[in-house]
């Protein structure tokens, strides 16, 4: 058996000890707000195996020691959180939110002479949500040219942001996009074997991306205040106390009477927040 085979066997035999799991889970919670109970140890072990392979390490003890070294804290942490964070997203996910924007929210803004909108996808992942917002706003602008908008997509994962910036997706990923919007906003790859599409340049140019940790005490965003914030299906990974802290900071970034959208499985019941509910999971900032 050659050395490569021995290495593969050894790495898959290694296990994450309870002590190392405790150190990692505490660090992840303290710095990123993601709660990992002991029941998640096997999941964390599985996800971090890729990092052990990349670093040519054979034990989690070796990896944990490296992560908490000065070099690891500078170079490895972002790779680690890429593996730990969940990045499930789709075009037009929870479509009722986009229908509300088109039918009620955007007409509301125009009625109140609010024509320059700043829109933030606070957990943008690989970009499907922010480009969906771009399509919705672009379609509305065609019929209402007075509207102008700027889009910001942020995420904790450099890997996901790189995918969002490239805006290249498998053809299967745009299945939820209405046919007329597929034709307007996506270009097929010239390599027909690739079976990929790319968001058109005109829409890509409307979006700015930045790396941002929602656990930061201050959100230093590239735009100062927002008319619309989407923060959907990320709070479910935080405990209740962390959820309230994150939402408080997000609401501080809203303009007066700005709107925030949460995921359909997320609730703010009994939280002390400066918002009023407009629809389920849609809230307006208080005045």
Residues annotated as catalytic are: 47, 155
CA distances from 38 to 17, 18, 68, 141 (A): 11, 8, 20, 49
Burial of 62 (0-12, 13-18, 19+ CB in 10 A): middle
How big is the chain by its Cα radius of gyration, in Å?
21
As a whole number of angstroms, the distance between CA 240 and CA 268 comes to 9
- Give the strands of the sheet with 186-188, arranged side by side: 168-170, 196-199, 186-188
């Amino acid at each position: 058996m050659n050395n490569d085979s021995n290495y593969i066997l050894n790495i898959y035999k290694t296990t994450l000890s309870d002590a190392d799991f405790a150190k990692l889970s505490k660090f992840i919670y303290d710095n990123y707000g993601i709660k990992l109970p002991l029941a998640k140890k096997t999941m964390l072990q599985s996800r971090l195996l890729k990092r052990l392979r990349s670093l040519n390490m054979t034990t989690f003890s070796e990896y944990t020691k490296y992560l908490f070294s000065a070099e690891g804290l500078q170079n490895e942490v972002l790779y680690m959180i890429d593996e730990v964070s969940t990045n499930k997203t789709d075009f037009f996910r929870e479509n009722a939110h986009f229908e509300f924007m088109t039918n009620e929210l955007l007409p509301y803004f125009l009625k109140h002479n609010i024509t320059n909108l700043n829109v933030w996808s606070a957990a943008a992942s690989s970009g499907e949500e922010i480009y969906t917002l771009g399509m919705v706003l672009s379609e509305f602008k065609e019929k209402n040219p007075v509207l102008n908008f700027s889009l910001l997509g942020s995420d904790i994962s450099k890997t996901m942001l790189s995918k969002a910036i490239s805006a290249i997706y498998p053809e299967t990923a745009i299945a939820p996009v209405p046919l007329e919007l597929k034709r307007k906003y996506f270009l097929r790859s010239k390599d027909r074997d690739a079976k990929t599409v790319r968001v058109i340049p005109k829409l890509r140019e409307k979006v700015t991306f930045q790396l941002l940790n929602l656990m930061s005490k201050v959100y230093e965003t590239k735009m100062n205040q927002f008319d619309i914030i989407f923060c959907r299906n990320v709070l479910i990974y935080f405990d209740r106390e962390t959820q309230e802290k994150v939402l408080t900071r997000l609401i501080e970034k809203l303009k007066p009477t700005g709107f925030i959208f949460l995921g359909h499985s997320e609730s703010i019941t009994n939280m002390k927040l400066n918002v009023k509910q407009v629809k389920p999971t849609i809230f307006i900032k208080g005045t």
